[in-house]
């Protein structure tokens, strides 16, 4: 499933890669807002939502009309509260249903907006963790191989940390492009994607910070690469967080996405005839 979702989202991002990240975010938020509205329409009880909203409004108007009658005011407040609870019930089901695709979308977007690729000359840490900790013999058998395409250079010997079951190296990026880190783990080959961009490159690109060994939830959280399996728990590369600003305002990319999606959704729900 991860491979399918990643391929689909990469196809969506392909025409947006050349745009400024802020404008690509605006387009994604608009498309997401419309898609969520259409989905909401079909998974929600539109008639029930409309009826509950109308009842709440009518009871609030009744409170204003009978403001000099304490008993009637209390009665109308109770009716308004009851109608509002029905409204919340009608809203809860579609929100729960739509939560899953929204979370999967955010995970995919994190691969594009969350981290910057390396740039030539930049150094960073590479870590390979094994399933079994304190296995010194297994750690000794882990190797990071030199690049075959001169894309990176290994600048430090392996630093083995038995307590964590981890081996660390320092590498330096050399030439821009998508390449792979090549390891030997117990004589078996393991690869990890490595993104290196030119210093003046502003295009968005997919950056996979971690490739996991196994585990359903770990695989869901890191969908850009397939699971490794075997004795490897994970391979990770430290990347800087991608700075993001929208119309000159610096904020987290996911916050900008939520704000823009909600603005578009509220602006378009009337023209699309959707009760929310």
Is 98 in a helix, a strand, or coil?
A: helix
pLDDT of residue 189: 94
Domain boundaries, the chain: 23-114+250-268, 123-237
Residues 173 and 117: their CA atoms lie apart, in Å, by: 10
Dihedral angle sign, alpha carbons of residues 36, 37, 43, 45: positive
Both tokens assigned to 57: 């409004």
pLDDT digits (tens, 9 = 90+) for 194-225: 999 988 777 788 899 999 988 888 888 899 99
pLDDT of residue 32: 92
pLDDT attached to residue 276: 67
pLDDT of residue 207: 93
Residues paired with 123 in a beta bridge = 172
Residues 6 or more apart whose CB falls under 8 angstroms from that of 99 comprise none
Output the pLDDT for position 21: 86
pLDDT at 74 (0 to 100) = 76
In what side-by-side order are the strands of the sheet with 142-144?
Answer: 142-144, 177-185, 188-196
Closest by CA to 123, choosing from 156, 172, 80, is 172
pLDDT attached to residue 233: 93
Q: 10 Å Cβ neighbour count for 74?
A: 11
Q: 247: how many CB neighbours lie within 10 A of its CB?
A: 7
Q: What pLDDT sits at residue 44?
A: 79
Radius of gyration of the CA atoms of the chain, in A: 26
Report DSSP state, residue 146.
Answer: P
pTM to 2 decimals?
0.83
What is the structure's pLDDT at 8?
87
Parts of the chain with a pLDDT under 70: 1, 276
- Structure confidence at residue 1 (pLDDT): 67
Cβ atoms 193, 178 nearer than 8 A: yes
SS3 track for 35-93: HHHHHHHHHCCHHHHHHHHHHHHHHHHHHHHCCCCHHHHHHHHHHHHHHHHHHHHHHHH
Please report where in the chains the tokens 């005011």 appear, as a residue: 73
């Amino acid at each position: 499933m991860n491979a399918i979702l990643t391929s689909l989202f990469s196809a969506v991002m392909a025409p947006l890669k050349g745009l400024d990240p802020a404008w690509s975010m605006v387009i994604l938020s608009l498309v997401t807002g419309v898609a969520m509205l259409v989905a909401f329409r079909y998974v929600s009880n539109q008639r029930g939502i409309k009826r509950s909203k109308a009842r709440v409004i009518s009871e609030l108007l009744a409170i204003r009309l009978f403001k000099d009658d304490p008993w009637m005011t209390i009665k109308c407040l109770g009716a308004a509260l009851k109608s509002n609870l029905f409204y919340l019930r009608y809203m809860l089901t579609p929100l729960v249903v739509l939560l899953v695709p929204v979370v999967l979308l955010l995970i995919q977007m994190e691969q594009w907006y969350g981290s910057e690729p390396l740039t030539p000359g930049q150094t960073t840490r590479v870590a390979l963790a094994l399933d079994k900790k304190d296995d010194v013999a297994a750690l000794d058998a882990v190797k990071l191989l030199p690049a075959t395409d001169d894309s990176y250079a290994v600048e430090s010997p392996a630093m083995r940390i038995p307590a964590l079951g981890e081996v660390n190296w320092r590498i330096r990026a050399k030439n821009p492009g998508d390449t792979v880190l090549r390891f030997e783990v117990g004589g078996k080959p393991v690869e990890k994607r490595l993104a290196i961009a030119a210093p003046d490159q502003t295009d968005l690109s997919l950056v996979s910070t971690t490739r996991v060994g196994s585990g359903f939830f770990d695989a869901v959280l890191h969908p850009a690469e397939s699971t490794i399996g075997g004795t490897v728990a994970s391979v990770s590369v430290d990347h800087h967080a991608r700075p993001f600003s929208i119309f000159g305002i610096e904020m987290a990319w996911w916050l900008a996405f939520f704000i823009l999606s909600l603005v578009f959704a509220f602006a378009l729900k009337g023209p699309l005839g959707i009760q929310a």
